[in-house]
Amino acid sequence: MKPLVLSFTSDFTYCSIKSMRKSSRIKCNVGSMKKLTLIAVCIILASCSTPQFREEQSICKATWMKKIPPRLEQESYMMVQSRQVPSGSITCTTSGYGNYAYTDCNQMMKTEYYNVPAVRTVDRNGSRRDREIASCTRQRCNKKYGNAKCE
């Protein structure tokens, strides 16, 4: 697997993903940057665990899902969205051929962030159950393999 390098500007306007073969530059907003970061973290965490660790974790997860079942509730929150709005400046380019001149003008845009009320479903028992699953997995790995990573 080729290493990937993720970089972005300080204002999160541009981010780039580089591999050994290709380099691409894509425009990102803060929401997509969060998603990209979450995906990267998930890939890194998934690649670090061994099959033995995942097996012990699945046993603990099945046990603790029964002991601490999900308690799903809906909650209101303010979701941040973005849109492109005119910045007030215009860039024009004029080119000519013979007696003719062509002017092409483009209105410059800026990103505007705004809040929208939204509803999401959350598991109120999720964090407590996840701590118990992690603790159970560490204990099972220590008992069976002599270390917390099941290596």
Q: What is the pLDDT of residue 39?
A: 73
Amino acid at position 51, single letter:
P
Q: What is the pLDDT of residue 63?
A: 95
Q: What is the pLDDT of residue 113?
A: 97
Q: What is the pLDDT of residue 97?
A: 82
pLDDT tens over the chain, length 151 residues: 434 444 444 444 444 444 444 444 444 444 556 666 767 665 655 556 789 999 999 999 999 999 999 999 999 999 999 999 999 999 999 988 888 888 999 999 999 999 999 999 999 999 999 999 999 999 999 999 999 888 8
3-class DSSP string for 64-123: HHHHCCCCEEEEEEEEEEEEEEEEEEEEEEEEEECCEEEEEEEEEEEEEEEEEEEEEEEE
Q: What is the pLDDT of residue 28?
A: 45
